[in-house]
């Protein structure tokens, strides 16, 4: 099978996607700079970030790959 299953992505830590402050998509708490321990989800063509507390509270749903609308 020569079908491509994943595309490689080059990450540039210097680049920023937007000038907006990153906030938790669940509780709204803002992040101080780049949140290295937060969970990032790609849903409906958008990146959504979740703080440590929200991610821990919903870890089973996240691991089950449910969209955040379900939890």
pLDDT tens digits, 38-65? 998 888 889 999 999 999 998 888 888 7
φ, ψ for residue 12, nearest 5 deg:
-115, 105
What is the distance between the alpha carbons of residues 13 and 61, in angstroms, rounded to a whole number?
Answer: 28
φ, ψ for residue 49, nearest 5 deg:
-110, 145
- Taking 3-state DSSP, the helix, strand and coil percentages for the chain, each rounded to the nearest 5, stand at 20, 15, 65
What percent of the chain shows pLDDT beyond 70?
Answer: 69
Task: Provide the pLDDT for residue 10.
Answer: 47
For range 10-31, the mean pLDDT? 72
């Amino acid at each position: 099978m020569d079908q491509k299953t994943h595309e490689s992505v080059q990450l540039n830590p210097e680049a920023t996607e937007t000038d907006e402050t990153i906030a938790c998509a669940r509780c709204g708490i803002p992040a101080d700079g780049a949140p290295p321990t937060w969970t990032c989800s790609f849903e409906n063509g958008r990146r959504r970030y979740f703080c440590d507390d929200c991610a821990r509270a919903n870890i089973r749903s996240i691991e089950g790959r449910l969209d955040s609308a379900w939890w």
